[in-house]
Amino acid sequence: MKTRILVTGAAGFLGSHLTDRLLAEGHVVIGVDNLSTGNTDNLAHLENESRFTFESRDICEPFDVGQVDYVFNFASPASPPGYMRLGVETLRVGSLGTENALRIAERYKAGFLHASTSECYGDPLEHPQSESYWGHVNPIGPRSVYDEAKRYAEALVMAYCRYRGVNTHLVRIFNTYGPRLDPDDGRVISNFLMQGLRGEALTIYGNGQQTRSFCYVSDLIEGIMRLSRTFEHLPVNIGNPDEFTVLECAQEVIGVTNNMSGISYEPAVEDDPTRRQPDITRARELLKWEPKITLRHGLELCLPYFRSKL
C-alpha cells in the first residue's frame, strides 16, 4: 500500500538514501531539511520525481506538512566537524526538532522512527555494545552536544510512546559509509578515501588501535526499513559487527586506492571512543537482519563517488 511519508534531514547522507528506498517502494515522500549540513545535490536526481516534494525548513520551528502515515526523523548534524560547529543547533534539533516531528506523528496517528546513534554509548566500558548498556558519556565534553542531544531525543521518543501512544521506533546507528557521504565531514572513511585518491598520506589521530565497525549504507537502510515495520519500541543496534582498528581501515583504503604515500599520525582527539562494535543479536533475532557487504567491497563501491569529488 502506498503511503505518504515525512523524512526530516532528507538532504543528508542517510536521509537521501532512505528517501530513495521509500520512493522505490512506491511511497510518496515529503523531504524537509534546513540544509545546515545537508546538500540538495543528494536529491538532484529526484528533480522530476512527481512523488517527491522537498521543503527547506528548520524543524526546530513548529510545522505541518499535512496528513502523513509515517515519520522518519533523520534531521541532525552527524559528523564531528558539523556538530562541533553547530553545537547549540545540534542540541535544539535533538530536543525541539524531535518533539515537533513527534507531534506530527501524534497528530496524524503516524508511525515514527528516530535515527539515534552508537554515540549514546560514549567511550564504552562494555564491549561489544548491546542495547541494554547505558553508556559512558562525558556530558560536558566537546562531543556532548551530539551525544546528549541524541540521548535526550531517545528519552523524548520513549515518552511519546509511553504517555501519548505514538508507535515509535529507535535505531542506534553505528559508523556508516557510502556514496553521498560528505568528503569533508571529518569521518574516518571519507577522510581516508579522499586522502588516498589524492595520493596523500592517510592521517590517523592517535595510535590507530582504536576500533570502529563500518556498515555500508544499503545494509543500514535495509535494517531501518525492517525495524520500521515492527512494533518494537526499544532501541535496536544497526551496524556491522566486523571490528577493525583505524590502522586496519587505513590499510584497506590504501589497497583500494593504490596509494603509496603511507600514513601520518596526529595527536588523539579528545573523547574519541577507543572501541566501537555493535552487538546485533536483537537485530538478527527481531529483524532477521545482518549486513552483507564487506568493508573492502563497500570501499570499492564508494570509489566512483569520491573520485567525482576530487
Instruction: Say yes or no: 8 and 121 in one domain.
Output: yes
Q: Is 146 among the catalytic positions?
A: yes
Count of domains for the chain: 2
In a domain, 73, yes or no: yes
Instruction: Say yes or no: 50 and 31 in one domain.
Output: yes
Instruction: Say yes or no: 203 and 220 in one domain.
Output: no
In a domain, 286, yes or no: no
In a domain, 66, yes or no: yes
Question: What is the reported pLDDT for 1?
Answer: 60
Instruction: Say yes or no: 263 and 151 in one domain.
Output: no
Instruction: Say yes or no: 255 and 161 in one domain.
Output: no
Instruction: Say yes or no: 68 and 159 in one domain.
Output: yes
Select which of 108, 121, 146, 177 is catalytic: 146
CATH of the domain at 247: 3.90.25.10
Cβ–Cβ < 8 Å for 219, 284:
no
Going residue by residue through the chain, which has 310 residues, state the pLDDT in tens, using 9 for 90 and above.
Answer: 669 999 999 999 999 999 999 999 999 999 999 999 999 999 999 999 999 999 999 999 999 999 999 999 999 999 888 998 999 999 999 999 999 999 999 999 999 999 999 999 998 899 999 999 999 999 999 999 999 999 999 999 999 999 999 999 999 999 999 999 999 888 899 999 999 999 999 999 999 999 999 999 999 999 999 999 999 999 999 999 999 999 999 999 999 999 999 999 999 887 777 888 999 999 999 999 999 999 999 999 999 999 999 9
Question: Which domain covers residue 259, as residue numbers?
Answer: 178-212+242-281+293-304
Instruction: Say yes or no: 151 and 255 in one domain.
Output: no
